[in-house]
Amino acid sequence: MTMRSWSAPYVPSLPAAGLPAASGALRLYDTAAGAVRETRPGATARMYVCGITPYDATHIGHANTYLAFDLVNRVWRDLGHDVHYVQNATDIDDPLLERADRDGEDWRALADREIELFREDMTALRVLPPAHYIGAVEAIPLVVEMVEKLRAKDATYTVDGDVYFPVAADATFGEVSRLTREQMAPLFAERGGDPGRTGKRDPLDALLWLARRPDEPGWESPFGVGRPGWHVECAAISVQYLGMAFDVEGGGSDLAFPHHEMSAAHAQVATGEHPHARAYVHAGMVGLDGEKMSKSRGNLVFVSKLRSSGADPMAVRLALLAHHYRADWEWTDAELDAARTRLERWRAAAARPAGAPVAATLAAVRDRLTDDLDAPGALAALDAWAAGPAGDDPSAPLAFAQITDALLGVALR
Ligand code: 5CA
Ligand code: ZN
Question: Cβ(61) to ligand 1 under 6 A?
Answer: yes
Q: Report the atom number in ligand 1 closest to the C-alpha of 230.
A: 4
pLDDT digits (tens, 9 = 90+) for 226-266: 999 999 999 999 999 999 999 999 999 999 999 999 999 99
Question: Cβ(361) to ligand 1 under 6 A?
Answer: no
Rounded to whole angstroms, the Cα distance separating 30 from 52 reads 22
For residue 250, give the 3-state DSSP assignment.
Answer: strand
Angle at 254 between CA 252 and CA 260, to 5 degrees: 85
Question: Cβ(65) to ligand 1 under 6 A?
Answer: yes
- Around 156, how many Cα atoms within 13 Å sit in the side-chain half-sphere? 22
pLDDT digits (tens, 9 = 90+) for 184-212: 999 999 999 999 999 999 999 999 999 99
CB 83: neighbour CB atoms within 10 A?
20
- Spatial CA neighbour of 188 closest among 204, 175, 172, 174: 204
Average pLDDT of the segment spanning 274-283? 98
Ramachandran class of 403: left when φ > 0, alpha when ψ lies in -120 to 50, beta otherwise: alpha
Instruction: For residue 96, give the ligand nearest its CA.
Output: 1
Question: Cβ(254) to ligand 1 under 6 A?
Answer: yes
In 51-137, alpha helices (H): 60-78, 94-102, 107-124
Mention every residue, 6+ apart, whose C-beta is less than 8 A from residue 371.
Answer: 23, 27, 36, 377
Radius of gyration of the chain from its Cα atoms, rounded to whole angstroms:
22
Peptide bond before residue 141 is cis, with ω within 30 degrees of 0: no
- Ion ligand 2 neighbours, Cβ < 5 Å: 50, 234
For residue 187, give the 3-state DSSP assignment.
Answer: helix
Fill in the amino acid letter for 177. S
Phi, psi (rounded to 5 degrees) for 228? -70, 150
Average pLDDT of the segment spanning 84-108? 97
Mean pLDDT taken over the chain: 96
Instruction: For residue 251, give the ligand nearest its CA.
Output: 1
Instruction: For residue 300, give the ligand nearest its CA.
Output: 1
Peptide bond before residue 275 is cis, with ω within 30 degrees of 0: yes
For residue 288, give the 3-state DSSP assignment.
Answer: strand
Q: Which residues pair with 163 in a beta bridge?
A: 158, 209
* 47 touches 86 (CB < 8 A): yes
Question: Cβ(252) to ligand 1 under 6 A?
Answer: yes
d(CA 53, ligand 2 centre) in Å: 9
Phi, psi (rounded to 5 degrees) for 82? -80, 150
CB 33: neighbour CB atoms within 10 A?
14
Question: Cβ(45) to ligand 1 under 6 A?
Answer: no
Q: Percent of the chain at pLDDT above 70?
A: 97
* 361 touches 399 (CB < 8 A): no
Per-residue pLDDT, 22 = 47
Rounded to whole angstroms, the Cα distance separating 278 from 176 reads 10
d(CA 166, ligand 1 centre) in Å: 25
pLDDT digits (tens, 9 = 90+) for 349-366: 999 999 999 999 999 999
Average pLDDT of the segment spanning 152-160? 98
Does residue 128 register a pLDDT over 90?
yes
Per-residue pLDDT, 413 = 82
Q: Report the atom number in ligand 1 closest to the C-alpha of 90.
A: 1
Residue from 47, 49, 50 to probe ligand 1 pocket by mutation (most atoms less than 8 Å from CB)? 50
Per-residue pLDDT, 18 = 56
Helices (H) then strands (E): counts for the chain? 13, 14
Please state the pTM of the whole predicted model. Answer: 0.97
Rounded to whole angstroms, the Cα distance separating 22 from 20 reads 5
Average pLDDT of the segment spanning 53-78? 97
Does residue 112 register a pLDDT over 70?
yes
pLDDT-based confidence at residue 288 (cuts at 50, 70, 90): confident
Residue from 232, 255, 301 to probe ligand 1 pocket by mutation (most atoms less than 8 Å from CB)? 255
Rounded to whole angstroms, the Cα distance separating 272 from 385 reads 51
Does residue 1 register a pLDDT over 90?
no
* 49 touches 251 (CB < 8 A): yes
Higher pLDDT: 88 or 1? It is: 88
Q: Which residues pair with 287 in a beta bridge?
A: 292, 330
Per-residue pLDDT, 21 = 53
Question: Cβ(58) to ligand 1 under 6 A?
Answer: no
Q: Report the atom number in ligand 1 closest to the C-alpha of 254.
A: 18
For residue 140, give the 3-state DSSP assignment.
Answer: helix
